[in-house]
Amino acid sequence: MDAKDKYIREHSSPQGEALDWVERQTNIRTNHARMLTGAAQGRFIKMLVGISGAENILEIGAFTGYSAICLASGLPENGHLDSLEINDELEDLILEGFDRAGIASKITLHIGDAKETIGRLRTEILDRRTKPMYDMVYIDANKREYCEYYESVFDMVRPGGLILADNVLWDGKVWADPLPQDRQTLGIASFNDMVAADERVESVILPVRDGLNIIRKKGLSSI
Distance (Å, whole) CA 209 – CA 53: 24
What stretch of H or E contains 189?
Answer: helix 183-197
Range of the domain at 10: 3-217
> Does any domain span residue 63?
yes
Distance (Å, whole) CA 200 – CA 154: 10
Residue 20 clears pLDDT 50, i.e. is over it: yes
Least confident of 20-29, 33-42, 149-158, 183-192: 33-42
> Does any domain span residue 222?
no
Q: How many CB atoms lie within 10 A of CB 143?
A: 22
Residue 223 clears pLDDT 50, i.e. is over it: no
- Residue 55, domain CATH: 3.40.50.150
> Does any domain span residue 223?
no
Distance (Å, whole) CA 48 – CA 198: 22
Contacts of 195 (CB under 8 A, 6+ apart): 150, 165, 201, 203, 213, 215
Count of the separate structural domains present in the chain: 1
DSSP codes, 193-209: HHHHH-TTEEEEEE-ST
What amino acid occupies position 133? M
What stretch of H or E contains 127?
Answer: helix 114-128
> Does any domain span residue 16?
yes
* Confidence bin at 33 (pLDDT 50/70/90): confident
Share of residues in the chain with pLDDT > 90 (%) = 79
> Does any domain span residue 185?
yes
> Does any domain span residue 154?
yes
CA of residue 39 relative to chain centroid, distance: 14
C-alpha pair distances (Å), 109 with each of 81, 84, 95, 149: 8, 6, 8, 18
Does this model's pTM top 0.85? yes
